[in-house]
Amino acid sequence: MFQRVRVGRVSEEVVKQVQEAIFSGTLGPGDRLPPERELAEQFGLSRMSVRDALRTLESSGLVEIKVGSNGGAFIREPNFDPLRETLSSMLRSKKANILELAETRKIVETAIAGLAAERASKEDLREMREAVEAARQALAAGDPNYGPHSVRFHAALTNGAKNHVLNLTVRSFRALFADVLEKLLPTADMAERAISDHWELYKAVEAHDAARARELMAQHLAYFEKKVKKLGDNLFKA
């Protein structure tokens, strides 16, 4: 699986080869790397160099080191939390502000709406439709908290765009904006606006009208951005 290491900092070369095997799909989540002794033979290195490389891979979240008779180095499931944590830290440390995040979200999700209109499956459409209906039922029952239903709708829309990088980007935003929705203390009129906007977006995506979907999303998030401006950076004070 691996090639002998001849040049450079040897542990870095080991890390690079293992990373390439993971990113290419040769190694997947749950797969166990060969024992340390066998890896040392494959790479033509000392066990100490291999051990250093495994520690680096573990610290980067790519492998998990288990001890015991059934232990070893195992490939981990991808962990995307660091991106969300980085954004949260930037907001708390004033390296970025909530309006910049809202602006970025508007750019990204407007593009997503257009792609979803071109690519969404029947299952994506069904999930969007059910999210809107659930929000309507909650509001009719006297619950104006549309936050969970909004998250469900936007997740279905993002899935419909069929772009893994955009999906990851939106997932990194999602928890932060869930905090915003809680602090906005949604009222009935805000819930009604969200439900109306989401339904119109659903119809545009169902009709494969990409231009209309982008227009509606831009308007929808401009309304959200206006609400956020009233809260400002106090949202993310430690």
SS (H, E, C) 180-198: HHHHCCCCHHHHHHHHHHH
63 and 117 part of one domain: no
Which of 27-41, 109-123, 173-187, 213-227 shows the lowest mean pLDDT across its residues?
Answer: 173-187
In a domain, 98, yes or no: yes
Interatomic CA distance for residues 136 and 191, integer angstroms: 9
**pLDDT tens across 129-164, in order?**
999 999 999 999 988 888 889 889 999 999 999 998
pLDDT at 238 > cutoff 50: no
Q: What's the domain range around 135?
A: 81-236
Q: How many independent structural domains does the chain possess?
A: 2
Interatomic CA distance for residues 153 and 157, integer angstroms: 6
In a domain, 5, yes or no: no
What is the CATH number for 44? 1.10.10.10
The pLDDT of residue 148 is 85
Mean pLDDT of 1-24: 79
Interatomic CA distance for residues 147 and 132, integer angstroms: 11
Q: Please name the amino acid found at residue 37.
A: R
17 and 91 part of one domain: no
**pTM assigned to the model:** 0.65
The rounded percent of the chain whose pLDDT value lies above 70 is 85
